[in-house]
């Protein structure tokens, strides 16, 4: 782990510094109370081996003191554990919250290029591992260090010469732990990356399970999972294997320390060097307590290596550049005229997509965008909404360049109905009200009626209070589309974008929705992206796109009369007056 990463972690936990201070004080208190017990037991041993018989009264006093110290140490340890748990989970909770909020500030280009599973893994698996590492660090690291210092003090009081043996052999344990820890950080980094890759693959497979089964691709996906799982198994084994070497290695060295203490202490007792049997018993107990924290700390170091590897991924995500929100204009414009002036755009500099486009959509006019797959229709909508910014020229609304408007302000002007429906787990009414939080039931029902969704909603088990599954589970594609349309109708936006908005409904319902759209879009600027040309026949202007350029424009009748590219598209969908 590098110093830069460590400083980032410290900056994240600085709010918990007062709690850490209390934990450190409690750790010292715990060490002091628990270390008094072996000293008392040493005195008890001396009483038992005394030449004048056993002084049971004095022995009873010693045992009572030992019990009081033990209970007090346990109480302090309990309080310390509670505080450390709260500090760790509070820190990780804030980190998770910040990570989730970051998603809404990232540019769409980042989200388009990174698998959803990888992002999810950062604030679930990675955050959980980071939490476990912090928890162990707060509890065992502080108490372990306190015990090491405390035992050294007590051993120095009992016999400095024997203590020197312990101190001289201690660096062997520290060197071993450091040597293994330096190797495990990279291995845990590889493990977390493999975990994220597997999570991403599983997320995609579960989300598209219908498609997987329809294609009969279960075996292919099983093979794909086996590949990711094998990679994770390999990296996990290496990380766990090397980290698990720490504890037995330090235990071996600690056993050597314990044996050396026992030998030198026993020789001191036999030689009459001022060390009693009871003092030797106490010293051996302290030697054991002294070496035990090294074993625990070595385990903590292994956990911390995994935690820091996960923290590195989380911080890398948080440090991604936020999407520029644009200018100070919050969408306040004098009109809804849309003007595109010499606009160019490409996702990649070496692959131009839209070049030198000029276009004007007066307020209240309905503009349709049609063309073959890949011609740039969806990209055009992305630019209108500022999901991406143009690379050349400009887009203006009401005479204001959209780059001088805040993205939020611009997007609040538009209502969108997309081909890909999105519904969340909750009631039907809650899903419709997403566009207008706090809307009354009457408003929700009115919007549903306008979208011709009221009929099927009332036939659901609990009507508008029916809970639907994630992504509208239990509803047909057409019903989900109707709910999304009702959602837009509820908020009554100033401008509209309809991206294949009726692609999933039958012809009869499409006609009804088209009538509703005519009412909704009356007097409003609207853009209609369509593959089914039957939905754009009444548009004020139709833009025909091909390979990122507008090749034709005009009304349906005018374009048909030209018998150009639009005519070819129309003929490919209609034959003898019937839609294919």
Q: What is the CATH number of the domain that holds 494?
A: 3.40.50.300
pLDDT digits (tens, 9 = 90+) for 411-422: 888 888 887 778
Q: For residue 162, what pLDDT is reported?
A: 76
Q: Give the mean pLDDT of 104-130.
A: 82
Phi, psi of 462 (to 5 degrees): -125, 25
Q: What percent of the chain has pLDDT over 70?
A: 90
Q: Residue 333 domain-assigned?
A: no
Mean pLDDT of 563-567: 90
147: enclosing H helix or E strand: helix 142-158
Instruction: Specify the range with the lowest mean pLDDT, choosing from 51-55, 122-126, 142-146, 345-349.
Output: 51-55
Q: Which helix (H) or strand (E) holds 487?
A: helix 477-491
Asked which of 290, 318, 346 is the last residue of a domain, the reply is 318
d(CA 436, CA 491): 6
Phi, psi of 536, deg, nearest 5? -120, 10
Domain boundary among 256, 283, 318: 318
pLDDT over 50 at 576, yes or no:
no
Q: Across-strand partners of 401?
A: 396
The reply to whether 96 falls in a domain is yes
Looking at the DSSP bridge assignments, the partners of residue 545 are 550
Judge if 401 and 481 occupy the same domain. yes
pLDDT tens-digit readout, 36-82: 888 888 878 877 776 666 777 888 888 899 899 999 999 998 998 88
Q: Token digits for 230?
A: 């094998």
Most confident range (mean pLDDT) of 115-119, 193-197, 239-243, 388-392 is 388-392
Q: Which helix (H) or strand (E) holds 490?
A: helix 477-491
Residues 272 and 361 in one domain: no
pLDDT at 393: 92
What CATH number did the domain enclosing 15 receive? Answer: 1.20.1560.10
Res. 1: pLDDT tops 60: no
DSSP state of 346: -
Strands across the sheet containing 338-345: 354-361, 338-345, 392-397, 400-401
Residue with tokens 């429906």: 421
Structure tokens at 506: 């039958």
Q: Strand 578-579 relative to strand 414-417: parallel, antiparallel, unpaired?
A: unpaired
Pair of tokens at residue 516: 């509703």
User: CA–CA separation, 216 vs 508, rounded Å?
Assistant: 33
Under DSSP, the state recorded for 329 is B
Residues 499 and 539 occupy one common structural domain: yes
Same domain membership, residue 147 and residue 78: yes
Distance in angstroms (rounded) separating the CA atoms of residues 218 and 216: 6
Q: Which residues of 483-518 are buried (b: 16+ CB within 10 A; e: fewer)?
A: bbbbbbbbbebbbbbbbbbbbbbeeebbebbeebbe
Q: Flag whether 514 is in a domain.
A: yes
Determine the pLDDT at residue 174: 66
Confidence at residue 577, expressed as pLDDT on a 0 to 100 scale: 46
The C-alpha atoms of residue 192 and residue 127 are separated, in whole angstroms, by 11
At residue 338, the pLDDT reads 92
- Whether the CB-CB separation of 368 and 560 falls below 8 Å is answered with no
Q: Is position 457 within any domain? A: yes
Q: Other C-beta atoms within 10 Å of 351: how many?
A: 7
Residues 140, 294 contacting (CB under 8 angstroms): no
Measured torsion, CA atoms of residues 34, 39, 40, 44, in degrees rounded to the nearest 10: 140
525-529 vs 366-370, strand pairing mode: parallel
**Domain closes at, from 262, 286, 318:** 318
475 lies in some domain: yes
Residue ranges with strand state E in 398-535: 400-401, 414-417, 426-427, 467-468, 495-499, 525-529
Report the C-alpha gap between 572 and 551 in whole angstroms.
Answer: 18
Residue labelled with tokens 């084994």: 237
Phi and psi at 234, nearest 5°, equal -65, -50
Based on the domain organization, do 293 and 426 belong to the same domain? Answer: no
d(CA 373, CA 377): 8
Tell me, what DSSP letter sits at residue 368?
E
Q: Could you give the angle at the alpha carbon of 422 between the alpha carbons of 421 and 426, nearest 5°?
A: 135
Please indicate, yes or no, whether residues 147 and 223 belong to a single structural domain of this protein: yes
Q: What is the pLDDT of residue 579?
A: 45
Output the average pLDDT for the chain.
Answer: 82
User: Helices in 49-124 by DSSP H: which ranges?
Assistant: 56-103, 108-113, 116-122
Pairing relationship of beta strands 541-546 and 366-370 according to DSSP bridges: parallel
Q: Which residue has the higher pLDDT, 108 or 443?
A: 443
Containing domain of residue 376, as a range?
A: 338-579
**Band of the pLDDT at 554, cuts 50, 70, 90?**
very high
- Report whether 326 contacts 135 (CB < 8 A): no
In a 10 Å sphere around its CB, with 0-12 CB exposed, 13-18 middle and 19+ buried, how is residue 68 labelled?
middle
Half-sphere exposure of residue 282: CA atoms within 13 angstroms, side-chain side: 28
Query: Which pLDDT belongs to residue 205?
Result: 80
Whether residue 406 sits in one domain with residue 306: no
| Distances 192 to 92, 185, 243, 304, 447 between C-alpha atoms, Å | 17, 11, 15, 13, 47
DSSP code of 557? H
Residues pairing with 357 in the sheet: 343
How much is the pLDDT for 464? Answer: 93
Kindly give the pairing relationship between strand 392-397 and strand 338-345: antiparallel
Q: 417 and 268 in one domain? A: no
The tokens describing 220, both together, are: 């292919």
- Predicted TM-score (pTM) of the model is 0.69
Same domain as 187, residue 128: yes
Residue 554's DSSP bridge partners are: 542
Phi, psi torsion values for 311, nearest 5 degrees:
-60, -35
pLDDT tens by residue, 184-237: 767 877 888 888 888 878 877 876 776 677 667 788 888 888 888 898 888 888
Percentage of the chain beyond pLDDT 90 is 12
Number of independent structural domains in the chain: 2
Looking at the structure, tell me whether residues 265 and 300 fall in a common domain.
yes
- Length of the chain (residues): 580
In a domain, 326, yes or no: no
Residues whose CB falls within 8 Å of the CB of residue 368, separated by 6 or more in sequence, listed in order:
527, 528, 529, 530, 535, 536, 539, 541, 542, 543
Tokens of 138: 């707060």
Residue 332, domain member (yes or no): no
Please state the rounded mean pLDDT for residues 324-340: 81
324 inside domain: no
CA distance 544 to 554: 9
522 CB-contact burial (10 Å; exposed 0-12 / middle 13-18 / buried 19+): exposed
Q: Are residues 132 and 203 in the same domain?
A: yes
Check whether residue 346 and residue 236 sit in a common domain: no
- Cα–Cα distance for residue pair 382/353, rounded to 1 Å: 13
């Amino acid at each position: 782990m590098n110093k830069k990463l460590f400083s980032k972690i410290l900056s994240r936990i600085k709010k918990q510094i007062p709690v850490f201070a209390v934990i450190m004080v409690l750790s010292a208190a715990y060490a002091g109370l628990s270390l008094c017990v072996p000293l008392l037991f040493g005195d008890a041993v001396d009483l038992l081996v005394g030449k004048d018989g056993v002084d049971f009264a004095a022995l009873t006093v010693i045992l009572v003191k030992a019990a009081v110290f033990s209970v007090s140490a346990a109480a302090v340890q309990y309080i310390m554990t509670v505080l450390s748990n709260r500090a760790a989970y509070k820190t990780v909770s804030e980190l998770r919250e910040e990570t989730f909020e970051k998603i809404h500030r990232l540019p769409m280009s980042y989200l388009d290029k990174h698998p959803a599973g990888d992002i999810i893994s950062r604030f679930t698996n990675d955050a959980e591992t980071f939490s476990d590492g912090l928890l162990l660090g707060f509890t065992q690291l502080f108490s372990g260090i306190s015990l090491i210092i405390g035992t050294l003090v007590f051993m120095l009081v009992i016999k400095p010469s024997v203590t020197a043996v312990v101190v001289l052999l201690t660096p062997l344990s520290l060197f071993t732990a450091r040597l293994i820890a330096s190797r495990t950080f990279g291995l845990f980094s590889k493990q977390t990356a493999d975990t994220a890759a597997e999570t991403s693959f599983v997320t995609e497979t579960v989300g598209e399970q219908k498609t997987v089964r329809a294609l009969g691709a279960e075996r292919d996906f099983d093979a794909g999972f086996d590949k990711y799982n094998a990679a994770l198994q390999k990296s996990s084994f290496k990380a766990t294997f090397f980290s698990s070497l720490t504890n037995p290695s330090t235990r071996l060295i600690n056993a050597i320390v314990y044996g050396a203490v026992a030998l030198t202490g026993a020789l001191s007792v036999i030689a009459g060097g001022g060390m009693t049997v009871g003092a030797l018993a106490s010293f051996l107990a302290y030697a054991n307590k002294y070496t035990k924290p090294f074993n625990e700390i070595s385990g903590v170091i292994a956990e911390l290596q995994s935690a820091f590897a996960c923290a590195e991924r989380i911080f890398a995500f948080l440090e991604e550049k936020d999407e520029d929100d644009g200018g100070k204009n919050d969408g306040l414009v004098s009109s809804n005229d849309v003007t595109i002036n010499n606009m160019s755009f490409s996702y990649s500099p070496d692959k131009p997509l839209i070049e030198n486009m000029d276009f004007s959509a007066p307020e209240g006019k309905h503009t349709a965008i049609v063309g073959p797959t890949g011609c740039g229709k969806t990209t055009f909508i992305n630019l209108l909404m500022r999901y991406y910014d143009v690379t050349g020229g400009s887009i203006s609304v009401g005479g204001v360049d959209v780059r001088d408007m805040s993205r939020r302000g611009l997007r609040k002007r538009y209502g969108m109905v997309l081909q890909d429906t999105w519904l969340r787990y909750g009631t039907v009414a809650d899903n419709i009200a997403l566009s207008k939080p706090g809307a009354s039931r009457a408003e929700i029902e009115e919007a549903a009626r306008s979208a011709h969704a009221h009929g099927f909603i009332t036939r659901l088990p609990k009507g508008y209070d029916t809970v639907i599954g994630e992504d509208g589970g239990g509803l047909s594609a057409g019903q989900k589309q109707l709910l999304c349309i009702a959602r837009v109708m509820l908020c009554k936006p100033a401008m509209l974008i309809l991206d294949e908005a009726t692609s999933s409904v039958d012809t009869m319902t499409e006609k009804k929705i088209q009538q509703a759209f005519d009412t909704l879009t009356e007097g409003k600027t609207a853009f209609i992206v369509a593959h089914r040309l039957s939905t754009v026949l009444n548009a004020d202007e139709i833009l025909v796109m091909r390979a990122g350029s507008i090749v034709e424009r005009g009304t349906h009748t005018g374009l048909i009369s030209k018998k150009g590219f639009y005519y070819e598209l129309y003929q490919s969908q209609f034959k003898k007056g019937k839609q294919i």
